Amino acid sequence: MDVLSDAIASIRLGQPSSSRLYTHQRDWCTRLAPHFGAGFHIVLRGNCWVLPDQGDPVMLGTGDAVLLPHGTGHVLSDRSIDAQTVAQAVPFEQWRAEQVSERSSDTVGFEALCGKYRLDRRGQHPLVAELPAVIHLPARTGDHRELRAAIDLLALEADERRPGSCIAVPSLLDLLLVYMVRAWMTESRTGIWSAALTDPVTANALRALHTDPAASWSNDRLATEAGVSRATLTRRFATLVGQPPMGYLAWWRLTRAAALLRDTTDPLSAIADQVGYATAYAFSNAFKKQFGTSPGRYRHHGSTVAGPVDTPDSPQSSEEFHHLLDRVITSDTVD
């Protein structure tokens, strides 16, 4: 798999959900509470304001999409948001229940697609961690055609539950999440991971590690894969990713193992083999160091969507950066 696919797959739980929202009311205001996951809104008609718990209000027009990748609580309103508006906000479930049960093109003033994803952030990839609290994707003709296509298809499926919709809708929602994050990475070009995935050397190395994390990687072998010298690979990778290649691989192997523990019933020996550990014992020791608990306990509590985010450290100074490089020299391979 590639980095973005792996980053999302490693934290996703269950199936996403969505609903079509519409109202004929004016001066409406509703609040959505924080949750363990990500949420989105896509405006199909009219406009609204989004006020996250931390941050500035964002106005959405017809065709605009907004993604809240960290489940940030927020207020939706059809008018400019001030303190009085926030105080009057009705809880979302209550407000939605009060809306008309049938659409009428003559009365509906606001219409949107809304949805959410459940995420387990205990092994969150730093690509996901660096996403801002609110990602605003304005509608622009010709931009991100795959995102617009997914929105159009999802709107059609939400209009009428057709045969096969139980498979079609979750699949479209998964595509929508990937396309929204991809669009943000293309538009912003400011994140660490946007830079890492557009640098040919680092991107090739990351692709190799994610395609086969269980392989017997070393810095020399990975440098050959990326087509550069070991020193070039090490410096560029550590600069952009914030972690030497073998340090990142060790972290990713255990993060991948955590997802396997959560999502499968495979024995520890099989999971150890899938992520590149020779024995279940070596795997268990490494897993406990990273997650602070044994693989068995982690699996037992796998339905708990909580826990600390354990991601590779970013070098905070030149001294720390060179310390990271020293670690590569003394630890060339990952067992």
Query: What is the sign, positive or negative, of the torsion defined by CA atoms of 198, 204, 207, 213?
Result: negative
Where residue 121 sits, what CATH number does that domain have? 2.60.120.280
Domain of residue 78: give its range.
3-191
> 176 and 33 share a domain?
yes
Please say which residue of 169, 191, 213 terminates a domain: 191
Same domain flag for 148 and 63? yes
Query: What confidence score (pLDDT) does residue 265 get?
Result: 93
Pairing of strands 65-68, 110-119: unpaired
Q: At what angle do helices 200-211 and 219-226 cross, to 10 degrees?
A: 120
Q: Are residues 259 and 240 in the same domain?
A: yes
Last residue of a domain, one of 167, 191, 215: 191
3-class secondary-structure state, position 39: strand
212 and 151: one domain?
no
Confidence of residue 305 (pLDDT cuts 50, 70, 90): very low
- Judge if 153 and 212 occupy the same domain: no
Looking at the structure, tell me whether residues 65 and 19 fall in a common domain: yes
State which of 139, 172, 191 marks the end of a domain: 191
**Number of domains present in the structure of the chain:** 2
Burial of 324 (0-12, 13-18, 19+ CB in 10 A): buried
Residue 335 falls within a domain, yes or no? no
Listed range (115-119, 155-159, 202-206, 221-225) with the worst mean pLDDT: 155-159
Shared domain for 241 and 171, answered yes or no, is no
CATH number of the domain bearing residue 320: 1.10.10.60
CA-CA distance, 13 to 26, in Å (whole number)? 36
Name the pTM for this structure. 0.80
Q: Give residue 191's pLDDT band: very low, low, confident or very high (50, 70, 90).
A: confident
At residue 124, the pLDDT reads 84
Domain assignment present for residue 124? The answer is: yes
**How does pLDDT run across 244-268, given as a tens digit for each residue?**
999 999 999 999 999 999 999 999 9
Same domain, 205 and 296: yes
Residue pair 211/6 in contact (Cβ under 8 Å)? The answer is no
Q: Does residue 265 sit within a domain?
A: yes
- What is the model's pLDDT at position 321? 33
Torsion of Cα atoms, 131 then 245 then 323 then 281, to 10°: 100
